[in-house]
Amino acid sequence: MITAFVLVHAAADSIPETAQAIADLDGVAEVYSCAGNVDLIAVVKVREHEHLADVIAGGLSKVPGVRQTDTHIAFRSYSSRDVEEGFSVGQD
């Protein structure tokens, strides 16, 4: 599974509608509204690298209200358990 995080700048007057439209796209797992330099963060999950273009360039970036996107592709995921186990290596 390939995961990408898409940082979305959206029109201020339509953030909830834009977020819902993005969330309704195939390949989008979650959308978060947030404070900071971006308005929304979309989590895209696809099986093949080529599908990223379909979801992001072909769908997400064309949603009304989307002004700009910045995509970050994940290489590896870590959970709190993974981190704890990594720090305990060799402590037995």
How is residue 8 written in tokens?
Answer: 């979305």
9 found inside a domain: yes
CA distance 39 to 22: 13
Position 84 pLDDT exceeds 80: no
Number of domains within the chain: 1
Q: Specify the residue for token string 């696809």.
A: 46
Tell me the average pLDDT across 7-18.
97
Q: Cα 89–91–92 angle (5° rounding)?
A: 105
| pLDDT score for 41 | 98
Contact 3, 51 (CB under 8 A): no
92 found inside a domain: no
Q: Which domain holds residue 51?
A: 2-87
pTM of the predicted protein model: 0.84
| pLDDT score for 83 | 54
58 found inside a domain: yes
Residue-wise pLDDT tens digits, 49-70: 999 999 999 999 999 999 999 9
71 found inside a domain: yes
Position 22 pLDDT exceeds 80: yes
CA distances from 48 to 5, 27, 31, 61 (A): 15, 11, 20, 19
